[in-house]
Every structure is written in C-alpha cells, then in structure tokens.
Amino acid sequence: MKSGGVYRLIDVALDEGSVAARGPDVDHERRIAIFDLLEQNHFEPAGSPGGPYRLRLSLEENRLVFDVALDDATHHGRIILSLTPLRRVIKDYFFVCDSYYQAIRSATPSQIEAIDMGRRGLHNEGSQILMERLNGKIAVDMDTARRLFTLICALHLKL
C-alpha cells in the first residue's frame, strides 16, 4: 500500500463528547497523532472508488465508530467495531504510559528506555489488533493504524 493519492485522510476529528481530559502529555500525543496522520496515511474503505476522506471517531454504546465522509463532507460510510478485542491492550498501554510519564521526571535513562520499549510494544500490539479488526472494512498501513490507535486511546479514556 502506498501513501497519498485518493486513498487518504484529509481531516480527522474526535467526538469531543467521547474524549476525557487526561493531562497535557496525553493531549499532546493526540495532537501529534492527528498531525502525523494527516501528513501521511493510507485509508482505503472496502469497495470505495476513492477519496480523499474525512474521518470522525467516536464511541457509541462501548463501540468504536468510524464515520467516513468524502472531501465535500458527503457521507460515505460508517464502520462500527467492538472495543472488546482492544480493551486489555489499551488498559496495559495506559498503565505503561503512566509509568513512562512518571519515569521521565525521575528515573535513570536506562529505566526510561526499558519502559518506553514496553510502551512501544503495546502500541504496536494495539495497532496490529486494529488492523485485523478493520480487515475487509478499511485497509490501513501500520503507521496509519498506530496513529489511529493513539486516537482510539484518547476516546477510550472516557469509558
């Protein structure tokens, strides 16, 4: 899958009613994830003749909702996924992130590096699960899945 072209996101929004404030570190990561996602992504809804696309992520009844629109805001489709397969990795990811944010203030560089390796590993695991859950619905590359996983974690905070 190559990035760019007609199978890409040009706008990403999170349902503000689904997002809880968690602190400046998490808010910063969310802003970076959106910026990076818009800079480079591959987003190809199954059967779609092409975009570009606008995405709104939200939670409804403990389900993850991908509302997809075309560039002109015309509704294109809606994908609803259960959060159950992601719950454990999101919980573990939050735990390790909290440890990481504490560590960067007082731990040794080697301790910080070890925690960060665990954090990246959980992030990759969550991204892989997301790609599997989207299989047959929306094709994304690993970098796009990683950034979407970050945004899903921001939504999941409200649960």
Decide if 124 is inside a domain: yes
pLDDT digits (tens, 9 = 90+) for 19-77: 655 566 667 777 888 999 999 999 999 988 888 999 999 988 888 999 999 988 888 99
Interacting residues of 28 by C-beta distance below 8 A, sequence separation 6+? none
Q: Which SS3 state, helix, strand or coil, does residue 69 take?
A: strand
With cut-offs at 50, 70 and 90, classify the pLDDT of residue 2.
very low
* The predicted structure's pLDDT at residue 20: 57
What is the spatial distance between Cα 148 and Cα 145, in angstroms, rounded to a whole number?
A: 5
Residue 97, domain extent: 9-156
40 near 143, Cβ under 8 Å? yes
43 near 55, Cβ under 8 Å? yes
Decide if 19 is inside a domain: yes
What is the spatial distance between Cα 137 and Cα 62, in angstroms, rounded to a whole number?
A: 19
Q: Structure pTM?
A: 0.83
Q: Give the count of domains, the chain.
A: 1
Residue 50, both tokens:
């092409």
Decide if 2 is inside a domain: no
Of 12-21, 40-49, 93-102, highest mean pLDDT: 40-49
What is the spatial distance between Cα 83 and Cα 122, in angstroms, rounded to a whole number?
A: 16
Interacting residues of 104 by C-beta distance below 8 A, sequence separation 6+? 112
| Residue 5 predicted with pLDDT over 80 | no
What rounded mean pLDDT belongs to the chain?
A: 85
Decide if 4 is inside a domain: no
Side-chain-side CA neighbours of residue 135 (13 Å): 6
In whole angstroms, how large is the CA radius of gyration of the chain? 16
Decide if 80 is inside a domain: yes
Mean pLDDT, residues 147-158 taken together: 78
